[in-house]
Structure formats: C-alpha cells, structure tokens
Amino acid sequence: MKRNYSIQEVPNALDVLRKAGYSYFKDPQSGEESFVVRLTSEFYPRFHLYVENSGNQVVFNLHLDQKKPSYGNEKMHSGEYDGPTVEKELRRIDSWVRSVANQQQQNTSEQNPDSQQQIQQGKALKRWWHKFFG
C-alpha cells in the first residue's frame, strides 16, 4: 500500500521512521534498501517499507511480510499489500509524520517568536476533520 506525502510534510523520512520504530535494512542478496519493524522477537512477521523520492513527493510503500520466502531465489513471499492491518500501520505512520512536523514547527517557532503567532492563526483555520485526514 502506498502513501504519498509532500516533501514539506516529510523533509526527513529517516527521522519519521526511526521515531515510528523502524530500522534501516539492506537486503544482503539484492542490495535493496528499506525499513522494517518486527512484530515479534523473530525476523518474521514484519512490516516492510520502501521509501521513494518522486519530484516533490515522498512515497512510502508498505507491506506486511508474513514469512521468509520459500521459493529458492524467487522474490515472492507471503505478504499482505493491503487490508486492515496494513492500513492501520499506515495510519500509525501518519501520526508520526504529523508529530515530527509539529515538533519541527515548535523548534522553528522557538527560534523565531513571530512565527508562533502565524502558526496559531493557521491552527484556528483548521477544521475538526484535519485531526483525522491531515
């Protein structure tokens, strides 16, 4: 399942993913770089996330690996690419994206007190659904 963010929302994907509990992972066979978070003390099951930069967009591509590939050298594995579990994890990542953005705004406003008033004015214009849909 893919989720697109603007580069302004996610200027540092590594920061967001670390706070969300993800670890950097480089596949020893393919050399592909990604991020994983384990759901147990074992290597599987795990959430597996690829980050792509596309112009002014950052794309998070998430799936759930249920078990290790058992097809020899094939890349196919038992994974979920959508569904309620993957959707719930993307919502959790969304909350970290917002949290990191808010923290960065606070750091900016502490450095520039005039920007605090602008941030407060912007908050007053947001509607109730922004809590759920960004």
Domain range annotation of the chain: 2-122
pLDDT at 92 over 50: yes
- Regarding pTM above 0.95, the answer is no
Gap between the Cα atoms of 126 and 33, Å rounded: 37
Please check whether residue 14 is in contact with residue 86, taking contact to mean a CB–CB distance below 8 angstroms.
no
21: left (phi over 0), alpha (psi -120 to 50) or beta: left
Please check whether residue 39 is in contact with residue 46, taking contact to mean a CB–CB distance below 8 angstroms.
yes
pLDDT at 130 over 60: no
What's the confidence (pLDDT) of residue 124? 46
Whole-number Cα distances in Å, 97 to 32, 64, 73, 92, 125: 24, 20, 35, 9, 20
Which SS3 state, helix, strand or coil, does residue 52 take?
strand
13-22, 78-87, 91-100, 101-110: which has the minimum mean pLDDT?
A: 101-110
CA angle 37, 106, 51 (to 5 degrees): 30
Check residues 44 and 115 and name the one with the higher pLDDT.
44
Gap between the Cα atoms of 133 and 115, Å rounded: 24
pLDDT at 69 over 90: no
The residues with which 96 forms a beta bridge, in sequence order, are none
